[in-house]
């Protein structure tokens, strides 16, 4: 969204700035992008260093933005994305007396199925709540996330603006698709997963389903494209399930190869245990891939079972195998589902329409800001004994 939406939003009268840790200053599609070197301590990002890593980044961003010698004297509005920029965003809101809009893409409690398992999670949760309560408007990417944010932080009037996609970018060629089929599955069905390899993405559920699928489709080939903290565990799991010869772990693929793989797949599986939106489903649909997704979070707001793809019970390998089997057994029907999914991507998720919706949120925040000048909201962290924050229980 940083690359695409602000450039469209700029044409409607709004400007945007973004910061990362690579030193550079450029204009991209009419948007000035400012990147900074982190302040000390400069550490590798890990669970142990996450809070200090974020603090060093925010310190550098705040100093850079508040410099008055290059035209960033004041903004009309601040837009924050998630907790890692909360302190910078709240500082700028106060310094500029500007409205603050926050997009919460995910929550710490949601990632842990409602739990806050340690001090780090409780700290992140507290910052998320503080940011939400200090903001003049809060945006989520799905109705599921709106409900999650409302339950966790007791904020009202959360706007839902789904993620968008430029279908002109998500294209491939018949030649590249044929090459992908020849490389990965020349003699049988091809099923793929594309994304990060982390526990919350549920790829272990997919691997657990493969023995069933291999018995039904002996020539099945599986490609798992991506990388993450669970990479080695998943490769070991495939060996233990005795499906390793049928599974190729590719790591991250170049964009052209990724597009071809997704378009060539007979089923693109999205087995997430926690998924605020599921952008990969839109990307797969834009490329014409039949979708098989978990009934998790925002995924089911796009993938309607038997209409735009197949769904299965979250975390259930047997049901995942059932959904993939139905997809592979009905190629004509799968193609019809894929065609409808592609139509919905084109009609419901173009960037220009999403930018207009965001522009309306900005206008509302500017109006509401007059009533909240200087306010910084308190937020109490739930005690460790408060149990599951989303689903109840001790």
Q: Name every residue whose Cβ is closer than 8 Å to that of residue 10 and which is 6 or more positions away in sequence.
A: 16, 30, 31
135-to-12, 61, 152, 163 alpha-carbon distances in Å: 22, 19, 15, 20
Same domain? 94 vs 180: no
344-to-160, 282, 308, 379 alpha-carbon distances in Å: 17, 9, 9, 39
Task: Tell me how far apart the alpha carbons of residues 103 and 83 are, in angstroms, rounded to a whole number.
Answer: 9
- Whole-number pLDDT of residue 368: 82
- Whole-number pLDDT of residue 394: 64
Same domain? 213 vs 155: no
Same domain? 46 vs 191: no
- Check if the beta carbon of residue 259 is closer than 8 Å to that of residue 185: no
Paired sense of beta strands 267-270 and 247-251, if any: unpaired
Least confident of 45-54, 172-181, 240-249, 289-298: 45-54
Across residues 356-378, what is the average pLDDT? Answer: 81
Q: Quick check: 392 pLDDT over 90?
A: no
Task: Tell me how far apart the alpha carbons of residues 387 and 151 are, in angstroms, rounded to a whole number.
Answer: 14
**Residue 86: CA count within 13 A, CB half-sphere:** 21
Same domain? 33 vs 134: yes
DSSP characters for 148-216? HHHHHH----PEE------TTTS---HHHHHHHHHHH-SSS-EEEEES---GGGTHHHHHHHHHHHHHH
- Whole-number pLDDT of residue 355: 95
When pLDDT is cut at 50, 70 and 90, the band that residue 178 belongs to is very high
Helix H or strand E segment including 312: strand 310-312
- Whole-number pLDDT of residue 2: 35
Q: Is residue 391 part of a domain?
A: no
Dihedral angle sign, alpha carbons of residues 385, 390, 392, 394: negative
- Whole-number pLDDT of residue 258: 98
Q: Quick check: 374 pLDDT over 60?
A: no
Task: Tell me how far apart the alpha carbons of residues 12 and 356 are, in angstroms, rounded to a whole number.
Answer: 8
For 253-288, what is the HEC assignment? CCHHHHHHHHHHCCEEEECCCCCCCCHHHHHHHHCC
Q: Name every residue whose Cβ is closer than 8 Å to that of residue 27 and which is 6 or more positions away in sequence.
A: 33
DSSP characters for 10-34? HTTT-------SS-EEEEETTEEEE
Across residues 167-175, what is the average pLDDT? Answer: 96
Q: Quick check: 3 pLDDT over 60?
A: no
When pLDDT is cut at 50, 70 and 90, the band that residue 371 belongs to is low
Phi, psi of 196 (to 5 degrees): -70, 145
Same domain? 50 vs 144: yes
When pLDDT is cut at 50, 70 and 90, the band that residue 376 belongs to is low
> Residues 180-199: pLDDT tens digits?
999 999 999 999 999 999 99
When pLDDT is cut at 50, 70 and 90, the band that residue 1 belongs to is very low
Same domain? 333 vs 361: no
- Whole-number pLDDT of residue 16: 41
Average pLDDT of the chain? 90
When pLDDT is cut at 50, 70 and 90, the band that residue 29 belongs to is confident
> Residues 216-244: pLDDT tens digits?
999 999 999 999 999 999 999 999 999 99
When pLDDT is cut at 50, 70 and 90, the band that residue 377 belongs to is low
Same domain? 342 vs 356: no
Least confident of 194-203, 275-284, 312-321, 365-374: 365-374
Same domain? 201 vs 279: yes
What domain count does the chain have? 2
Same domain? 158 vs 253: no
Q: Render the burial of 18-57: b for 16+ CB within 10 Å, e for the rest.
A: bbeeeeeeeeeeebbbbbbebeeeeeeeeeeeeeebbebb
Enter the pTM of the model. Answer: 0.88
> Residues 78-122: pLDDT tens digits?
999 999 999 999 999 999 999 999 999 999 999 999 999 999 999
Domain of 332: which CATH number? 3.40.50.2000
Same domain? 182 vs 262: yes
When pLDDT is cut at 50, 70 and 90, the band that residue 381 belongs to is low
Q: Quick check: 19 pLDDT over 60?
A: no
In this prediction, what percent of the chain has a pLDDT beyond 70?
88
Q: Is residue 392 part of a domain?
A: no
Q: Is residue 394 part of a domain?
A: no
327-to-47, 106, 191, 292, 311 alpha-carbon distances in Å: 39, 30, 10, 8, 10
Dihedral angle sign, alpha carbons of residues 365, 128, 348, 346: positive
* Structural domain boundaries, residue 294: 174-348
């Amino acid at each position: 969204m940083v690359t695409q939406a602000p450039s469209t939003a700029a044409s409607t009268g709004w400007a945007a700035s973004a910061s990362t840790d690579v030193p550079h200053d450029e204009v991209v599609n009419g948007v000035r992008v400012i990147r900074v070197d982190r302040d000390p301590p400069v550490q590798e990002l890990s669970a142990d260093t996450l809070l200090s890593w974020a603090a060093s980044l925010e310190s550098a961003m705040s100093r850079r933005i508040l410099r008055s010698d290059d035209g960033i004297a004041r903004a009309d509005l601040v837009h924050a994305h998630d907790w890692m920029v909360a302190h910078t965003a709240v500082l700028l809101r106060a310094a500029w007396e500007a409205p603050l809009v926050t997009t919460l893409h995910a929550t710490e409690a949601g990632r842990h199925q409602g739990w806050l398992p340690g001090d780090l999670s409780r700290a992140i949760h507290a910052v998320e709540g503080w940011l939400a309560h200090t903001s003049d408007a809060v945006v989520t990417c799905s109705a599921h996330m709106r409900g999650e944010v409302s339950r966790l932080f007791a904020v009202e009037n959360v706007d839902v603006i789904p993620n968008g996609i430029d279908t002109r970018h998500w294209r491939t060629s018949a030649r590249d698709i044929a090459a992908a089929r020849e490389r990965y599955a020349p003699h049988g069905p091809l099923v793929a997963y594309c994304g990060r390899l982390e526990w919350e993405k549920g790829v272990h559920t997919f691997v657990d389903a493969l023995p069933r699928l291999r018995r039904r489709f002996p020539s099945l080939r599986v490609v798992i494209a991506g990388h993450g903290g669970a990479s080695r565990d998943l490769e070991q799991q495939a060996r233990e399930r005795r499906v390793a010869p049928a599974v190729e772990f590719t790591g991250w693929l170049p964009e052209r190869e990724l597009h071809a793989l997704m378009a060539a797949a007979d089923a693109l599986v999205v087995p997430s245990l926690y998924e605020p939106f599921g952008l990969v489903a839109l990307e797969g649909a834009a490329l014409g891939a039949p979708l098989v997704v978990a009934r998790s979070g925002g995924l089911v707001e796009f993938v309607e079972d038997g209409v735009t793809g197949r769904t299965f019970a979250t975390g259930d390998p047997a049901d995942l195998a059932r959904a993939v089997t139905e997809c592979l057994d009905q190629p004509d029907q799968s193609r019809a589902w894929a065609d409808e999914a592609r139509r919905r991507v084109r009609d419901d998720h173009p960037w220009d329409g999403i930018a207009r919706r965001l522009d309306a949120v900005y206008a509302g925040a500017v109006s509401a800001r007059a009533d909240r000048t200087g306010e910084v909201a308190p937020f109490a962290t739930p005690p460790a004994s408060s149990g599951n924050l989303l689903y109840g229980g001790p």
